[in-house]
Structure 1
Amino acid sequence: MSRTTLPVGATLLVGSILVASHDAAATEMTVSVEIPRLNVAEYHRPYIAVWLEDADQKMAANLSVWYQQTTGKEGAGTKWLPDLRQWWRKGGRSLKVPVDGISGPTRPAGRQSIKYSAAQLSRVAPGNYTLVIEAVREVGGRELVKVPVVIAPGKSSTATAKGKAELGAIAVAIKP
């Protein structure tokens, strides 16, 4: 049996990568999204997508997509996912839904809270990101809200934003 040894620098680099991965994986994020109850003749729950974008506005992590998960008189809910235009273009079209841990049913009006565990964020390297929340509603409007966030090992942070029509108050809390 032969044994291969790595130069001291290579061993140190491998150790640093493992430590960095462990630190990034220890982060969890909670996102609170307000879905306003609109006073309209025909109200439908919105489809909502949540994702992280990097500095180049490329999808860094696909976090959630809420849509009608049953087949109704208008067809299967997946038929309308392309209406979440930005999410669809940046990565939604490459998914085969439902996706375990990402897909979920539409939510009613009110404050909704989503918690992303360290395991869900483990593929996201520490750095500056934009949390993007897109909402679209049948016989309604569409809205895109962006919230700058920082994911840093051992650091807590918070951020807020507010939508104008389809989304209300949004709050993000990141904890080590």
Structure 2
Amino acid sequence: MRATLLTAPVLLTGLVAAPALAGTVTITIPRLSVAEYHRPYVAVWVEPAGGGAARTLAVWYDIKKGGKEPGTKWLSDLRAWWRKGGRSLSLPANGVSGATRAPGQYRLALPADLKPGAYVLHVEAARETGGRELVSVPLTVPRIAGSAAGKSELGAITLSAR
């Protein structure tokens, strides 16, 4: 009897601590056959479908570049993100900033505190001596599902419940 009473609060605490909603976005950076390949700068953000404040989830850029040309100098090439709030973000941002990624698939957690409603997830990529691309995926919370695909700089972008 005593063991049951002692373990009950631990179990309840674990249940309360679990997030009410969590989803995942999978981002594919394709392998390109080009003479001079540079890893893309990528920004990922979510905003209300009707417009409003953007919430940056990730910015992948050359965070270690120093000297006269810090890596942040080229972030304005991510034009849509830059206009939507990137220019006012203080970088490096803890939990948001990261290094550029090689071709492959990468997963990001969607914020667990998104209120129910309609949103748009945006993924934008820009590459030196390459192109620029923006892929947008409609997102409805709490039903997290959807996908879209880029044509050049980005591959498949997939939303799923965790």
TM-score by length of 1: 0.76
Aligned pairs (5 A) from 1:135-150: 135-150=125-140
From 138, 141, 150, give the equivalent of 1:151.
141
CA RMSD of aligned residues (A): 1.8
From 71, 75, 98, give the equivalent of 2:69.
75
Cα distance change of structure 1 residues 125 and 157 upon mapping to structure 2, 3 Å threshold? closer
In structure 2, the residue matched to 1:17 is none
1:161 aligns with 2:155: no
From 134, 137, 158, give the equivalent of 1:171.
158
Secondary structure at 1:33's aligned position in 2?
A: strand
Aligned pairs (5 A) from 1:20-169: 26-71=20-65, 75-118=69-112, 122=113, 124-152=114-142, 156-169=143-156
Give the total of aligned pairs.
145
Secondary structure at 1:63's aligned position in 2?
A: strand
Q: Which runs of 5+ in 2 are unaligned?
A: 1-15
Percent pairwise identity:
52
Secondary structure at 1:160's aligned position in 2?
A: strand
CA contact (8 A) 1:143 1:166 kept: yes
TM-score by length of 2: 0.82
In structure 1, the residue matched to 2:5 is none
CA contact (8 A) 1:64 1:104 kept: yes
Displacement after TM superposition at 1:116 (Å):
3.3
Q: Which runs of 5+ in 1 are unaligned?
A: 1-21
